[in-house]
Amino acid sequence: MNQPKRIFSFLSIMLIVLCGASTFFAQADPNLRPEQSYEAVLQVVLGVNDASVKTDIPQNLSTISKQLRDNYSFPSYRLANTFIGRVTNNGTLEYRSVSDIFGQPSDQEIPVFLEWTLGRLQSLPGTGGQPVMNAQPFRFGARVPVRTGPRTAEARANEVINYEQVGLTVNRVSVPENRPTLIGTLALPKTTGTMFLVLTVRPTGN
């Protein structure tokens, strides 16, 4: 290829690149802003029948504490754990981990598997100008080990561990923005206590 043809080819390629860049920036909306991000906070409160256990509820759950005392007769309540995840509008949050959240002694060889999901989070207008956060679905569950077979120390090697699924699924749930809301309850394994799931969804500063 001679020199004039090379120069012509080079100029043609540059023209195509410049045209493409011009089209991209022309289509971009200068007023376009990033989607709003939210912080989803799931707080797990345990109600127990042991009066010797000191009630330990954070200040932000004071309204939830009153709601629980008005509807349940447990002498003590405590915050078991807090889970936080960040998600944008119309996004989905999924969490999976090993946990001893049920208040039982942890066993590294036989763990409890915990998971929760907040699907298709969407901000919607609510009454009185208060935004409402809608999720489809909300799921909280755990796989809990159940021992079967001999219980003696000598026969422990022959015991069988089966995992049972426990949890709560709400196909569609709405909570006021930035307000702790009781979503549901679960019975605690091997106890007479109850687990309360409290969800708060609040906007972040991005």
Radius of gyration of the chain (CA): 27
Q: What is the mean pLDDT of residues 73-83?
A: 91
- Indicate whether 166 belongs to any domain: yes
156: confidence class by pLDDT, cuts 50, 70, 90: low
pLDDT at res. 203: 93
pLDDT at res. 25: 46
- Indicate whether 49 belongs to any domain: yes
- Indicate whether 30 belongs to any domain: no
Of the two residues 67 and 156, the one the predictor is more confident about is 67
Does residue 65 surpass a pLDDT of 70? Answer: yes
Number of separate domains in the chain: 1
pLDDT at res. 35: 78
161: confidence class by pLDDT, cuts 50, 70, 90: confident
Q: What is the mean pLDDT of residues 133-162?
A: 77
- Indicate whether 60 belongs to any domain: yes
What domain range includes position 81? 37-203
The answer to whether the CB of 64 falls within 8 A of the CB of 180 is yes
94 forms beta bridges with 117
- Indicate whether 182 belongs to any domain: yes
172: confidence class by pLDDT, cuts 50, 70, 90: very high
The answer to whether the CB of 74 falls within 8 A of the CB of 65 is no
Does residue 125 surpass a pLDDT of 50? Answer: yes
pLDDT at res. 33: 62
- Indicate whether 27 belongs to any domain: no
pTM: 0.75
pLDDT at res. 104: 53
Instruction: Name the residue among 131, 138, 99 with its Cα closest to residue 117.
Output: 138
Does residue 100 surpass a pLDDT of 90? Answer: no
21: confidence class by pLDDT, cuts 50, 70, 90: very low
pLDDT at res. 140: 94
Q: What is the DSSP letter of 188?
A: P
Average pLDDT, rounded, for the chain: 79
